[in-house]
Amino acid sequence: MTVYNRVALIGLGLIASSIAHAMRQHGLAGEITGHDVLPETRQVALDIGLVDRVFDSAAGAVEGADLVILCAPVGAMGDIAAEIGPHLAPGATVTDVGSVKQAVIEAVGPHLPAHVHFIPGHPLAGTEHSGPRSGFATLFINRWWLLTPLDGTDPAALARLRGFLETLGANVEEMDPHRHDLVLAVVSHTPHLIAYTMVGVADHLRRVTHEEVIKYSASGFRDFTRIAASDPTMWRDVFLTNKEATLDILGRFTEELFILQRAIRMGDGDQLFDYFTRTRAIRRGIIEAGQDTAAPDFGRAVQPPEKQGKG
């Protein structure tokens, strides 16, 4: 079922490669073109068949495309939009996969001509791996893909994009961009920052040896390291472009942490028990919503030794 005749992927990492695999699986695109700033990444994408044609420039990749998906770091999207703007076909849809929406709208929107449909988006899916070899067709199944359409968005273009994303397996929902950035600061951005911080603390705490950190990381620390292994360029840009919402949530986190710190110091077991009971209910809700499993390995299958460390 071809939805778009030509889809251009700008940036060829995990998300773009997963989109490409899913498009291939479902026959959603007549042709897939691509561009990445790294020559080696472009070559790999071509070699493994992610794209039919790869271009040295983003402008070349979008020529004649009726869907353009910006899969580059948020901080680079403004420059990309300025480059591709004059080369976009009339009636084309431009979307993105950035974790921040208001900053993307402000950076990209002014560079796009009036004859294209700009529909910002964000798939809530990913792994700690990056690069064109890291993608897989099932990444988006039962995961949320948030769209933040602007005022005056063409309903037909929006419906077409929604249908495309739903065929990839995603649950699609529309949201105001400011609301998106606040929600993501709670459920993604601040947890990532906390994970980076906890791993950094372990690295600097000389009373716990490096060998002990690695050896005993099957506890909660293991999942901190998984999160903290995410793409540093992407997360640098996320925090710089969603500064206000992230600082707001960090302030609230600090207040909650102080409450727990005081309860521990005062030996207030009842307060700790009540607090942990409330937070446990949130975990159960996530499982019931189908966004994770209750399996002992947290739903993350252990890879065979020969595949570990590859991505």
Partners of 35 in the beta sheet?
Answer: 10, 55
Domain ends where: 113, 145, 175? Answer: 175
Specify if 306 maps to a domain.
Answer: no
What 3-state DSSP class applies to 15? Answer: helix
CATH assignment at residue 120: 3.40.50.720
| pLDDT for the residue 130 | 85
| pLDDT for the residue 242 | 87
3-state helix, strand, coil in the chain (%, to 5): 55, 10, 35
For residue 4, the Cα-to-chain-centroid distance in whole angstroms is 23
Q: How confident is the model at residue 305 (pLDDT cuts 50, 70, 90)?
A: very low
Tell me the chain's radius of gyration from C-alpha atoms. 21
Q: Report the number of distinct structural domains present in the chain.
A: 2
Q: Which domain range does residue 53 map to?
A: 4-175
Please determine, for residue 51, whether its predicted confidence score (pLDDT) is greater than 80.
yes
Q: What percent of the chain has pLDDT over 90?
A: 62
pLDDT in tens, 239-263: 888 888 889 888 988 899 999 999 9
What are the C-alpha distances in Å from 274 to residues 258, 260, 284?
16, 11, 16
In this structure, are 188 and 166 located in the same domain?
no
In this structure, are 122 and 271 located in the same domain?
no
Torsion, Cα of 9, 13, 16, 19 (10° steps): 150
Domain ends where: 175, 204, 224? Answer: 175
| Cα(186)–Cα(162) distance, integer angstroms | 25
| pLDDT for the residue 192 | 81
In this structure, are 13 and 151 located in the same domain?
yes
In this structure, are 228 and 158 located in the same domain?
no
100-109, 121-130, 190-199, 211-220: the lowest-pLDDT one: 211-220
Specify if 293 maps to a domain.
Answer: no
In this structure, are 119 and 62 located in the same domain?
yes
Specify if 43 maps to a domain.
Answer: yes
- What residues contact residue 225 under an 8 Å CB cut-off, 6+ apart? 195, 199, 217
Please determine, for residue 304, whether its predicted confidence score (pLDDT) is greater than 50.
no
| pLDDT for the residue 216 | 63
CATH assignment at residue 203: 1.10.3660.10
- What residues contact residue 196 under an 8 Å CB cut-off, 6+ apart? 227, 228, 235
Report the phi/psi class of residue 309: left, alpha or beta, with left for phi > 0 and alpha for psi in -120 to 50. left
| Cα(30)–Cα(169) distance, integer angstroms | 19
In this structure, are 10 and 63 located in the same domain?
yes
Specify if 42 maps to a domain.
Answer: yes
Please determine, for residue 179, whether its predicted confidence score (pLDDT) is greater than 80.
yes
| Cα(100)–Cα(241) distance, integer angstroms | 7
In this structure, are 145 and 246 located in the same domain?
no
Q: How confident is the model at residue 311 (pLDDT cuts 50, 70, 90)?
A: very low
Domain ends where: 115, 146, 175? Answer: 175
Predicted TM-score (pTM) of the model is 0.79
pLDDT in tens, 90-143: 999 999 999 999 999 999 999 999 999 999 999 999 887 889 999 999 999 999
